[in-house]
Amino acid sequence: MNTWIVTFFTISDAIAAERTAKKLGLQARLIPVPRQLSTGCGICLKVQTDTPQTLLDELSQEEVDVDACLDWEDIQ
């Protein structure tokens, strides 16, 4: 299973995304944005999944604005 970082423009979107990920049964938690990245709200979602697009589609349906979705290994 791969680990992904999902970044957001607002903290409220990050919180909503964590709720959605957990509703989908994914291991997810909010963490500070890694130093290598620069994003709006400073909080991101670290989530384990092999199919990040499923989460992104659900977030879109719930009108959660996502900044980016990046593979954790690519930013280490």
* 3 pLDDT above the threshold of 90: yes
The predicted pLDDT at position 64 comes to 98
pLDDT tens-digit readout, 22-39: 999 999 999 999 888 877
The answer to whether 4 touches 71, Cβ cutoff 8 Å, is: yes
Q: What is the C-alpha radius of gyration for the chain, rounded to an integer number of angstroms?
A: 11
The full 3-state SS of the chain, as one line of letters, equals CCEEEEEECCHHHHHHHHHHHHHCCCEEEEEECCCCCCCCCCEEEEEECCCHHHHHHHHHHCCCCEEEEEEHHHHC
- What integer is the mean pLDDT of 1-25? 97
Is pTM beyond 0.75 here? Answer: yes
The answer to whether 59 touches 17, Cβ cutoff 8 Å, is: yes
The predicted pLDDT at position 48 comes to 97
Which domain CATH number covers 24?
Answer: 3.30.70
The count of domains in the chain is: 1
pLDDT tens-digit readout, 41-62: 899 999 999 999 999 999 999 9
Range of the domain at 42: 3-75
